[in-house]
Amino acid sequence: MNGKLFLCATPIGNLEDITLRVLRTLKEADLIAAEDTRNSIRLLNHFEIRTPMTSYHEYNKIEKARTLIEKMQSGMNIALITDAGTPGISDPGEELVRMCYEAGIEVTSLPGPAACVTALTLSGLPTRRFAFEAFLPMEKKERREILEELVNETRTIILYEAPHKLIRTLKDLREVLGNRRMTLCRELTKKHETAFRTTIDDLIAYYENEKPLGECVLVIEGKSRREIREEKAASWEEISLEEHMEIYEKQGLSRKDAMKQVAKDRGISKRDVYQQLI
């Protein structure tokens, strides 16, 4: 029978956050696949786990996944861990999971720490709906495209960033998204954990005199639907009512339906549209 892949969430800082189920699984597995074995050995030594370990990271994720799948097809159970947090969240684990399903290997996920959810609940911003973007790409064009996609995002936005890239990212956010309320979370679950409730502008000003330290999670408020409606209505005011009507009539809408759509775009009543047209 095939073995199984266990996605094991590990602490993002405080070692007490590991679950009993993850500890048992790491001890019972035939092999542990770790993103960075040098980092993970400290965790395993702390809990006196002697299970053999192998590396699985961004630069060997396809070739090594094939090897791991062969081992599971021979009956081995493999536990996958990342440097910190839940495997598959902004790390190469998602590739191994996909290939396991294609090969008919059973996969299970053992819940535990995740920096994005921890920061969201700590942020003081709306938590019901959120958009997780992890790390923004370094390539300038692709980075800009993603930020522009977020301009009218109504959900709370979550980003990861390294300290030495934080100021650049804040300036890019300010340029594309404008000034927003946000919470900067640093060193989550560790001794010097901070949740800095502020705005993008104030944070940029703060780091003019302070050196960014610690791994960061940026939690940024989404744009309100009301603001989006007002911006759309303002953009339609740049053309005349007759030109606005013509756009929809050329699309095949009846005069009545075109008036209804124009009224919706401009945030006014259909009666107002009718009266202005006549």
Task: Say how far apart CA 250 and CA 246 lie, in whole Å.
Answer: 6
The helix or strand, by DSSP H or E, that contains position 42, with its residue range, turns out to be helix 37-46
For 19, the token pair is 């679950």
Helices 255-266/270-277 angle, 10° precision: 110
pLDDT computed for residue 235 by the predictor: 67
Q: Residue 4's pLDDT is what?
A: 97
Q: What is the mean pLDDT of residues 203-232?
A: 88
Residue with tokens 């961004």: 58
E strand or H helix at 41, and its extent? helix 37-46
Instruction: Decide: helix, strand or coil at residue 276.
Output: helix
Q: In degrees to the nearest 10, what's the CA dihedral of 263, 265, 268, 270?
A: 10
CA distances from 206 to 60, 145, 170 (A): 40, 27, 11
The pLDDT value recorded for residue 233 is 65
**Which residues contact residue 172 at a Cβ distance below 8 angstroms, ignoring those fewer than 6 apart?**
136, 143, 144, 147
Supply the pTM of this predicted model.
0.81
- Residue pair 162/90 in contact (Cβ under 8 Å)? The answer is no
Which pLDDT belongs to residue 224?
86
The model's pLDDT over 105-153, given as tens digits with 9 standing for 90+, comes to 999 999 999 999 999 999 999 999 999 999 999 999 999 999 999 999 9
pLDDT at residue 85 tops 90: yes
The closest alpha carbon to 22, from 101, 109, 114, 89, belongs to: 109
Residue 173: per-residue pLDDT: 97
Structure tokens belonging to residue 134: 């992890």
- Residue 198 vs residues 41, 101, 108, 167, 190: alpha-carbon distances, Å: 37, 43, 39, 15, 21
Q: What is the pLDDT of residue 261?
A: 83
Amino acid making up residue 5: L
Residues written for the chain: 278
Q: How much is the average pLDDT of 237-254? A: 80
Tens-digit pLDDT profile for residues 51-83? 999 999 999 999 999 999 999 999 999 999 998
- Provide the pLDDT for residue 234: 66
* pLDDT for residue 253 is more than 70: yes
Q: What percentage of the chain has pLDDT greater than the value 90?
A: 77
The answer, yes or no, to whether residue 254 has pLDDT greater than 90, is no
Mean pLDDT for all residues in the chain: 92
Buried residues in 2-41 as b, exposed as e (16+ CB within 10 A)? bbbbbbbbbbbbeeebbbeebeebbeebebbbbbebeebe
In the chain the beta strands, taken as DSSP E runs, fall at 4-8, 31-34, 53-55, 78-81, 106-110, 130-135, 156-161, 181-186, 194-199, 216-220
Do 11 and 17 contact (CB within 8 A), yes or no?
A: yes
